[in-house]
Structure 1
Amino acid sequence: MKHSLHTKVAAAVMVLAPLGLAAVAQPAAAQTFQYHVADSRQGTINGITIDSDSGLRPGSTLRISVHATPGARWANLSLADGVRVPLRERAPGEYVGSYVIRRSDRIDPAGQMQLRAGWGGEPVVMAYNYPAAFQAHSMGAAPATAEVNSFAMWPHDEDRLDPGRVVHFRVEGTPHARAGVRVPGVVDWLQLTEERPGTYVGSYTIRRRDDTDAFRGATAMLRAGDQRVVARLGERGDRDHGDRDAR
């Protein structure tokens, strides 16, 4: 069976729209890269988007989305010899898949990915270069460093922490990371927004059922790459290399 092979070196475009949330900048290790390709003879492939939480390092999760002619009988993305990700049509013309990179995988970021799809007749094969950022976070690269320089909350006086009061949080630390606050028994994960590089802010409105004493035990959590750091109010963070849930 003949294959039509089209190769295109496409520029990477960062997409700043997390799932179901307002547009905010993603961590450097979770960038999304989108490519656009020309129409092919067998169906049309309009673009492919690949998102990774840590480049191509072992344990990283890749999420793939392809926009193409609806109704393909099959589709997959080959990352390397023996590493092929099947894609399913989640909605008409939208094909998705995910893959967790194994230590045994031999993925060369200087090589190419190959997208294959079949609508009937001969299959279509499209080839892509890996983006430069994936090469920077390739297998064996040094992990990102997570640091919390300060964690503050206001108001912090107990007599002002009454129902209806808005409590504000601010974390200073590693830029372009993921940050949140936990108040024991009140909120497990309050997502913070990166107001400017390295500064994360958020707020919480106290409810009548909340234990206001718990706010004294509030902790900030920040994750960059595969590192996680936890800090208490007024303290710098202690780095954690474990596998605990970092949200």
Structure 2
Amino acid sequence: MRKTIIILIAFTFWAGNLFASNVNDWGPNTLPPPSICCDVEIIPDTIPVIVTPGSTFGYTGILCNPSFDSILTDAWIEVEFLGVRYDMGAYTNFHLTSGECRTGHFQQFVCLVAQPGVALYWAFCGDYETKEVCDSSYFEVIITEGRLDGGASEWSLNVDWQENQPSKELMTAVNYPNPFNAQSNIIFDLPIAGNVNLEIYNLLGQKVAVLADGIMTAGQHKVIWNAADYSSGAYFYRLRTGEEVIAGKMNLLK
């Protein structure tokens, strides 16, 4: 499913060093808010994110329900420049059962009139109408000087959502146990043979491990991540084959 949001923004900006951060991560000794509860992460395709006005950058967005009950939540994107945040669009009324995640791959078009500078690219989840934030994630983007001829004339955002229902034509994946202590299994089904890349990221958007990178046959595969040398906390796996990307959250408890 593809949803396109067109945003006309009459401001210019951007540049800096990239990092990503989840500022409201719920650890083993903390509790989420009692009303709305969700986890959101955005993981850029490349680190650092460096773009020219008129070009694009991509990232994977993950929205999860860490609670024991079903929730109805919203997610939205904002860009922060010089302390001011600009609304880039919202995705509302996600119904998530306990432990369920929705994953999408986003493509952000950068307007031709954007000027060099530093901006923070934010994702929020919670209640969009009241702006009650349950969780957030962000990374920095570097906008260079110059311009891409024939590039994007306005800010716009495309997203390809992974469907909830498995399909024989789609790759599926799950990890267990989760939470886990030292070792977790990532199991995935490939509808056809192809090149597979499986990586682990921390909450800063930094790649910490490459578990697979090569051709695999169609069918079910299991890859084990031994995290004995890593600190406790939340991590994400990103599984890519062709144009399809699946990501999931993993909680390491020691």
Assess same fold via TM > 0.5: no
Question: TM-score w.r.t. structure 1 length?
Answer: 0.31
Richer in helix (by share): 1
Q: Which of these two proteins has the greater Rg computed from alpha carbons? A: 1
Richer in strand (by share): 2
